[in-house]
């Protein structure tokens, strides 16, 4: 059996998992070189041949004997230039870099097409959950029009623990950092960047139209309070950070990431802790869900290894390996601005604790064409205000924003605590 040389750029969590498992495939894969940031760092990898290590990743992308470059370093720079160099040198690519694909995927895929090489990226969307290859192969006969997904384990863990323990966000975030579920700087996760990078790529391949990261509506979980979670439960919902993408009847794409109230009987409401899940809706398949470990050393390594072996099975067998996995997007999806979307909304307010305050809120909503479906008042507070929560019927986003702007000017509304969209 022919063996293929691979070079790995990055030996962190994912790269370490890949290296630990490569000996299982030594008949197919020969690990020729590993690029690391610090040659002196101690690594918990049994049997690691340190002679393979280099701190110059260009040794890998310029090595004429390496067939496949595995990029698991993350970030845009220098990963972007490294992969361009590798592709120009005729090397196939396996990457787990969701940010790079979201920001520069179009250029990389176009270059790969020109050079007749393949970029595989199963690990870039949902860790160990197989989703890219299923969408491009077995689900190819479907017109997928909707994606609802939990794509970030850190935020799902935080929201789960806030719900289970009744604890505030800051306390649970600190615990997540102690357990290694959240980074020291958690911004990419908790502000929704990570999920946005992933939904952009997933929507692009699912809709067969290029979706670009610019203009994606993104909102994280930092404004979610333990009170919001308590009230959501009383209304029959769980709060989740949802990455969604939908095509309307005219083929326009609504792609966004933000917290949502998810009905408790919805399957995504039951996805807890660091687990990820992806629901696809299409014809003729209907609804289908993929769930599992969305991150971590071994789950993500599983997807990287699968891509490596898929390439090894095809290289040299034809002049155009893995044609179904190539990028063939000729058009860009027209986008629906968030202000034009129609949603239901959870609105948390502090009102003046005086007769008629709720009536004023209702009147303002009515003036902007917004019907209220549920209202919850939690009694008086020591500062002379009352805590009021409403859930609207389906309403246009720009109308809701206009109503909130008017409420801020009203003597009846002291403070607007939060606005969270509700899953339809």
Establish how many alpha carbons lie within 13 A of residue 53's alpha carbon, considering only the half-sphere containing its beta carbon.
18
Token output for 404: 């909130």
Q: Rounded to an integer, what distance in angstroms lies between the CA atom of residue 62 and that of residue 70? A: 13
Q: Are 150 and 242 a contacting pair, CB within 8 Å?
A: yes
Q: Give which of 365, 342, 346, 341 is closest to 421, Cα–Cα.
A: 346
Q: Are 404 and 416 a contacting pair, CB within 8 Å?
A: yes
Q: Are 361 and 407 a contacting pair, CB within 8 Å?
A: yes
Q: Are 72 and 96 a contacting pair, CB within 8 Å?
A: yes
Q: In sequence order, what are the beta bridge partners of 287?
A: 281
The three-state secondary structure class of 294 is: coil
- Strand intervals (E) in 27-142: 29-35, 53-54, 68-71, 92-95, 119-120
Q: Rounded to an integer, what distance in angstroms lies between the CA atom of residue 385 and that of residue 278? A: 41
The three-state secondary structure class of 200 is: helix
Q: Are 372 and 400 a contacting pair, CB within 8 Å?
A: no
Q: Rounded to an integer, what distance in angstroms lies between the CA atom of residue 388 and that of residue 418? A: 11
Q: Rounded to an integer, what distance in angstroms lies between the CA atom of residue 18 and that of residue 8? A: 9
- Is residue 32 among the annotated active site residues? no
Token output for 28: 């197919």
Q: Are 118 and 326 a contacting pair, CB within 8 Å?
A: yes
* Catalytic residue of the set 198, 209, 240, 246: 198
Q: Are 16 and 44 a contacting pair, CB within 8 Å?
A: yes
Q: Rounded to an integer, what distance in angstroms lies between the CA atom of residue 347 and that of residue 335? A: 26
The three-state secondary structure class of 402 is: helix
Which residues are tagged catalytic? 198
């Amino acid at each position: 059996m022919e063996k293929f040389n691979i070079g790995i750029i990055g030996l962190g969590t994912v790269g370490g998992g890949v290296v630990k498992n490569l000996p299982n495939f030594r008949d197919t894969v020969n690990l020729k070189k590993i690029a690391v940031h610090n040659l002196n760092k101690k690594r918990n990898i049994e049997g690691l041949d340190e002679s393979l290590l280099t701190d110059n990743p260009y040794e890998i992308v310029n090595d004429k004997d390496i067939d496949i470059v595995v990029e698991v370093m993350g970030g845009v720079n220098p990963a972007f230039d490294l992969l361009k160099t590798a592709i120009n040198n005729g090397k196939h690519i396996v990457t787990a870099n969701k940010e790079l694909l979201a920001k520069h995927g179009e250029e990389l895929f176009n270059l790969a097409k020109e050079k007749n090489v393949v970029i595989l990226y199963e690990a870039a969307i949902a860790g160990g959950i197989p989703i890219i290859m299923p969408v491009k192969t077995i689900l190819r006969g479907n017109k997928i029009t909707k994606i609802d997904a939990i794509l970030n384990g850190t935020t799902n863990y935080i929201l789960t623990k806030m719900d289970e323990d009744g604890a505030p966000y800051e306390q649970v975030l600190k615990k997540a950092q102690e357990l290694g579920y959240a980074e020291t700087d958690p911004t990419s996760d908790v502000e929704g960047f990570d999920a946005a990078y992933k939904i952009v790529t997933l929507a692009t391949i699912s809709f067969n139209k290029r979706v670009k990261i610019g203009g994606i509506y993104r909102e994280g979980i930092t404004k979610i309070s333990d009170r919001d979670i308590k009230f959501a439960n009383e209304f029959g919902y769980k709060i989740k950070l949802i990455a969604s993408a939908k095509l309307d009847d005219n083929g326009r794409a609504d792609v966004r990431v933000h917290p949502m109230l998810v009905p408790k009987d919805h399957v995504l409401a039951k996805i807890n802790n660091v687990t990820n899940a992806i629901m696809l809706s299409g014809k003729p398949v209907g609804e289908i869900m993929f769930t599992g470990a969305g991150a971590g050393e071994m789950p993500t390594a599983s997807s990287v290894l699968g891509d490596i072996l898929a390439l090894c099975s095809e290289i040299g067998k034809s002049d155009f390996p893995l044609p179904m996995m190539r990028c063939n997007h000729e058009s860009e999806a027209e986008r629906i601005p968030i202000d034009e979307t129609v949603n239901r909304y959870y609105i948390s307010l502090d009102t003046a604790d005086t007769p008629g305050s709720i009536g004023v809120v209702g009147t303002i909503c009515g003036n902007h064409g917004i019907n209220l479906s549920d209202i919850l008042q939690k009694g008086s507070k020591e500062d002379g205000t009352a805590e009021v929560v409403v859930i609207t019927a389906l309403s246009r986003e720009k109308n809701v924003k206009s109503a909130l702007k008017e409420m801020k000017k009203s003597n009846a509304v002291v403070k607007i605590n939060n606005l969270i969209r509700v899953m339809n």
